[in-house]
Structure 1
């Protein structure tokens, strides 16, 4: 009887080992795997491009799983390049305007400095004339100055008279605007010459 028990025990041990092996294999290999029941929530993300443009290729469909950094669509490259070129042209135009403005500022600065130099020269000339006047004039210079004043006064009276006539003629549309302006300028010029004399 002992001889029959030993082989039966061996068979029972082999069957038990087989059952344990099959149970472990069916459960996934043992202690490294855990099984739970429940719901998995997915994160839904709304996507958009950083720039505007026409989409030419969509690489995923709605509901597909994607990873961070994955390319999911492509925009029309030609349209983006033309937008870039247009923006570069706008930038170039703005830089050109800036250059023109800087040049204008430099020109105005130089003109102001030149104007100051001219004013200083006029001041020096006026001071020289004042010194000459204070030093005294010769009788012939005084005579010439009086003659110049009289001639300037006569020119001014004639120009003022012409100007008055021109205003009347202009109101009646008998002379053109340019002729009217010419008479006005002659009158103003004659008055300035008289004051300077």
Structure 2
């Protein structure tokens, strides 16, 4: 019985010795690898504040260039600062005035744009900006309904969706000292496109994309 116990103890001692011999290199390898691992650092991302463009920081390109002191060469940024004029339409009765669209960009960083309605007297060359410029707001696709009423599309709605607006011109547009606030006609939950008005201005058609 005593011999059997000694035999068991002897085998146990050999087994433990072998386990220790195998375990020591593993511990050394793990320790070296942990020392070679780079220390992980936490990077904090800082987001720049969002700039809101509105009528309070409105500046035309002519005002911007008048504020420059020293002359410089014309480059691609100056090309972007040029106003885009489009879609002129004559007065439906006398043809002595036109309304057109004017797209202009935020000065001086060009990080926003707006499209507004303008009126031009062809006899006196008097120009009046009809709708208020707000960065991100674009008027488009306008129609003369009668001598002093304009229908047009714009995203001036509180929902930021394109809707139909009506602009009523005063009797003497050339004497207009401030912007004219348009009236919102539609309030659909979708953007309105492709506005059409018949010659009698009694019917209109448009499309909405779902």
Provide the TM-score with structure 2 as the length reference: 0.21
Q: Which has the higher strand share?
A: 2
Q: Which has the higher helix share?
A: 1
